[in-house]
Structures are given as C-alpha cells and as structure tokens.
Amino acid sequence: MKEAATIRRDRIVPDPNQPRTEFDEAELEQLAGSLRDRGQLQPVRVRYDVLADIYVIVLGERRWRAAGLAGMETMACVVVDGDVTPEDLLEDQLVENALRSDLRPVELARSYQALMQPAACRSAPWPNVSTSAPRRSPRRWRC
C-alpha cells in the first residue's frame, strides 16, 4: 500500500544502492529552475527506514537533488509501505533509469549484475525487468 505525504527534504536521503551514480549539474539546475517556476509536478517515491528514522528514496533522486538547489524545504512523496525486498527496489529503480536515455552503460550493467545476484542459477528465464526495460536484454542468464 502507498500513501501520499509531504516530507521535509532533510528527512529524505538517497538510496545507497541506487543504480544511477552520476548526475549532470546543468540538467539538475534546469530541473531546479522548473521546480521554482512550476513547483513539483511529480512526487518522489520513498520508503521509511525504521532503524534510521528517515525516508530513503526509491524513485526520484534527481527531483530530490534539484529541489535542494531550488531551495525547497518539503517535497510531495509517495510512501511505499509493507514488505519490499531489496530486489523489488532495485528492479523499480532499474526500470525507471533504463527509460532515461542518459543512464550510462556501466550504471546499467552494474544494475543488471546486482539484480542477477539474488536470482543466480534459477532455471527459469530472468524475470519481468528484461521486458520492462527498453534495452537489449539477454534471453537467459547462466551461472
């Protein structure tokens, strides 16, 4: 289940396992200008980390970074509840990032590699992310 919330930006942190590791500063500045002019049009998707007492970004790190440049103190968020596995989070992040043309090939490769680790040596073909991501995907992974 998901719920909408307005969360202080300083209570949100990036996911250390996010596939994207580089962010173009000029593009962030452009997005920050849009946030200043038009406001936040799309919420950031977050999960709550009980142990750290903080929200962790699932989707929308670029918006979060640009919001900081724009001076925004709060952000509209969709909070993901329930049991979400690290594999589920990585799959969502990979699909979102694969839809962006500026994801570097090495970031995409690292994401696929990380997603394969828990699914290693399965007899069935690699699950649905291969059909969701608009990239050339292997037909079958081997151990």
What does the pLDDT look like over 67-100, one tens digit per residue? 999 999 999 999 988 777 667 766 666 666 555 5
Name the pLDDT band for 37 (thresholds 50, 70, 90): very high
pLDDT at 141: 40
* Cα Rg of the chain, angstroms: 16
Q: Which two tokens stand for residue 109?
A: 């490769």
The pTM is what?
0.63
Cα distance between residue 35 and residue 139, in whole Å: 41
